[in-house]
Amino acid sequence: MLFKLASRKIECMAKKYQVHYHFIFVHADGKQLQEAVDILTKANVHPVYGDIFSLTQTKEAMDKVAKGRNKGKILLKIN
């Protein structure tokens, strides 16, 4: 019930844009994480990448996420 309440806003947005939304809750163990990877790989699901920031730009990256102005995943590049 708690997860249902927490994801209500996302479910409404998914319905508005006519996309499917699924929440998956897993334990942080290797077996379940590997199963999730296998499912996503089989379904050919890939994340959408947004901006790439260096580690020295971490504050700027977090500010962008906090403002909700990112499109796709924000990546931190480690050199």
pLDDT of residue 54: 93
DSSP state of 56: G
Are 64 and 52 a contacting pair, CB within 8 Å?
no
Cα separation, 30 vs 36, whole angstroms: 10
Helix (H) or strand (E) holding 18: none
Lowest mean pLDDT among 6-10, 28-32, 64-68, 70-74: 6-10
The count of C-alpha atoms lying within 13 angstroms of the C-alpha of 12, restricted to the half-sphere facing its C-beta, is 5
pLDDT at 74 exceeding the cut of 90: no
For the chain, domain boundaries: 1-46, 47-79
Q: pLDDT for 23-49, tens place per residue? A: 667 677 888 888 888 988 998 888 888
